[in-house]
């Protein structure tokens, strides 16, 4: 891929740029060659893959915890310097478009990722802007920024997650059929849940749910350990006479990953979601969730703030998590995306910071991306082809390539082989009626 000109000249032009991106080796990631994250990172960076190491997240954007760097070079794609995308944008703010600069300043409002999940991530939520500002000021070591983090997961493979609390009816079933939870929280809390009804008003239902969840998550390690031992024994006996439910099977799987963890019991209270490839899930601020397994494209507001309380060896903040949650009940919406053309679907969450397009092109096919008023990042996850854009004519793109596209830039993709491309950009809704 030929990109002419030096880094200094690039600061004056601000055209399409190839990026070198960051990887995260969290212990829940898929190992080495099993991980799409590992493959994309290797192709993107030219570095080898360690088959003994987990590769969890591939970051594309400007967040300081995992920055991308602008490549200025020839066919080898070697960088002529260490100019980060964040620094390059600061020198070329026009690449964001005027409306984006007015709203968010000279930084990308979204962070784009690929995730390869081998075992459950923590039970967690992301604070809204008000709480994020407080947490960042109080503990900047743990909360790296003051931004909120609404996010969307778009499945690349079958992808499992826990998201939000089960309905009131399902919650009552849990307290009637999972005696270990009722024993941990105590008779008074159990009776409170069983007695509450929708007719009592949403506020009373939320208060009952919040109280039992807080009691469960605050229980001693010894109490949780004993409860999980009883649960495993009970389900082992039950499995000899009946098929365990999907949730029971999931809980036993989580217990093997995180033995003695309160999050294993808490999973009974959450919706178990399985996405098929091409399906997406939105997660708003202060909404509880945990990704379980599979691979996905993820996009979010530019933040890395997480409050955890289970299924993790990392630091937990049970008090903050239990106080911040929305306690929304019911199964979350599964989003299919909307067709823009025969080859492209758009996923448009109810957040201004981002949207995601998924483009699949068979050999010889083309797709046009109309100029957007804001910036975009494209990642090629499969195949190869050409990208046609101003100052970026007929350049080959292939698996592992990540490209920054400035505002108001026409893009045309043509596949040489089957080409799978994802694009993240500022939400179309932000710029006005669709």
Query: Which residue, of 303, 331, 359, is where some domain finishes?
Result: 331
Statement to judge: residues 251 and 375 lie in one domain: no
139 noted as active-site residue: no
Question: Of 308, 316, 345, 386, which residue is the catalytic one?
Answer: 308
Statement to judge: residues 172 and 252 lie in one domain: yes
pLDDT at 8: 38
> Alpha-carbon distance 95 to 145, whole Å?
23
Statement to judge: residues 398 and 255 lie in one domain: no
Statement to judge: residues 190 and 319 lie in one domain: yes
The encoded tokens of residue 266 equal: 């808490």
- State the total domains in the chain: 2
pTM: 0.91
Q: Are 255 and 232 in contact (CB under 8 A)?
A: yes
Statement to judge: residues 266 and 349 lie in one domain: no
Statement to judge: residues 357 and 410 lie in one domain: yes
In a domain, 75, yes or no: no
426 CB-side CA count, 13 A = 24
pLDDT tens per residue, range 368-417: 999 999 999 999 999 999 999 876 765 899 999 999 999 999 999 999 99
In a domain, 238, yes or no: yes
> Alpha-carbon distance 105 to 128, whole Å?
19
In a domain, 93, yes or no: no
Intra-chain end-to-end CA distance of the chain, in Å: 35
pLDDT at 181: 96
With a cut of 50, which residues of the chain have pLDDT below it? 1-12, 74-80
pLDDT at 258: 96
pLDDT at 393: 60
pLDDT at 144: 74
CATH of the domain at 424: 2.60.120.10
pLDDT at 2: 35
Query: Which residue, of 331, 360, 384, is where some domain finishes?
Result: 331
Among 26, 19, 22, 20, CA closest to 306: 26
Backbone conformation region of residue 329, classed left if phi is above 0, alpha if psi is from -120 to 50, else beta: beta
Statement to judge: residues 324 and 349 lie in one domain: no
In a domain, 177, yes or no: yes
In a domain, 398, yes or no: yes
pLDDT at 434: 53
In a domain, 290, yes or no: no
pLDDT at 135: 83
What's CA 236's distance to the chain center, in Å? 34
Statement to judge: residues 324 and 208 lie in one domain: yes
Statement to judge: residues 391 and 321 lie in one domain: no
Q: Domain range spanning residue 413?
A: 345-431
Residue identified by tokens 């990026």 is 19
Statement to judge: residues 258 and 370 lie in one domain: no
Q: Are 400 and 44 in contact (CB under 8 A)?
A: yes
Statement to judge: residues 393 and 322 lie in one domain: no
CATH of the domain at 214: 1.10.441.10
Query: Which residue, of 331, 366, 383, is where some domain finishes?
Result: 331
In a domain, 78, yes or no: no
Statement to judge: residues 325 and 407 lie in one domain: no
In a domain, 123, yes or no: no
């Amino acid at each position: 891929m030929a990109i002419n000109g030096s880094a200094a000249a690039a600061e004056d032009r601000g055209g399409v740029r190839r990026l070198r991106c960051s990887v995260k080796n969290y212990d829940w990631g898929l190992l080495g060659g099993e991980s799409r994250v590992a493959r994309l990172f290797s192709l993107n960076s030219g570095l080898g893959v360690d088959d003994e190491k987990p590769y969890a997240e591939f970051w594309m954007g400007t967040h300081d915890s995992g920055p991308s760097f602008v490549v200025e070079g020839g066919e080898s794609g070697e960088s002529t310097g260490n100019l980060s995308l964040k620094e390059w944008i600061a020198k070329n703010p026009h690449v964001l478009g005027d409306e984006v600069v007015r709203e968010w300043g000279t930084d990308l409002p979204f962070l784009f990722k690929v995730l390869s999940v081998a075992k459950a991530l923590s039970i967690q939520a992301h604070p809204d802007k008000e709480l994020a500002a407080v947490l960042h000021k109080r503990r900047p070591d743990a909360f790296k920024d003051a931004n909120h983090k609404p996010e969307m997961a778009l499945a690349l493979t079958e992808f499992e997650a826990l998201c939000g609390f089960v309905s009131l009816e399902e919650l009552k079933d849990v307290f009637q059929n999972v005696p270990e939870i009722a024993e941990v929280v105590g008779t008074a809390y159990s009776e409170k849940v069983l007695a509450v009804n929708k007719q009592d008003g949403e506020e009373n239902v939320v208060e009952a749910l919040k109280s039992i969840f807080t009691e469960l998550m605050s229980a001693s390690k010894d109490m949780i350990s004993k409860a999980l031992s009883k649960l495993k024994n009970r389900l082992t006996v039950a499995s000899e006479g009946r098929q365990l439910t999907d949730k029971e099977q999931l809980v036993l799987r989580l217990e093997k990953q995180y033995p003695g963890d309160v999050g294993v019991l808490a999973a009974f209270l959450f919706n178990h979601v399985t996405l098929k490839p091409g399906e997406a899930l939105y997660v708003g601020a202060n909404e509880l969730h945990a990704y379980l397994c599979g691979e996905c494209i993820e996009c979010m507001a530019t933040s890395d703030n997480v409050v955890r309380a289970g299924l993790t060896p990392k630091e937990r903040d049970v008090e903050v998590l239990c106080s911040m949650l929305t306690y929304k009940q019911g199964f979350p919406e599964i989003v299919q995306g909307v067709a823009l053309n025969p080859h492209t679907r758009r996923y448009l969450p109810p957040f201004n910071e981002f949207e995601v397009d998924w483009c699949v092109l068979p050999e010889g096919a083309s797709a046009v991306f109309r100029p957007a008023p804001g910036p975009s990042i494209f990642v090629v996850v499969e195949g190869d082809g050409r990208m046609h854009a101003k100052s970026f004519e007929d350049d080959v793109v292939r698996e592992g390539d990540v490209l920054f596209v400035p505002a108001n830039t026409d893009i045309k993709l043509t596949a040489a082989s089957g080409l799978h491309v994802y694009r993240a950009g500022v939400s179309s809704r932000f710029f006005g009626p669709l």
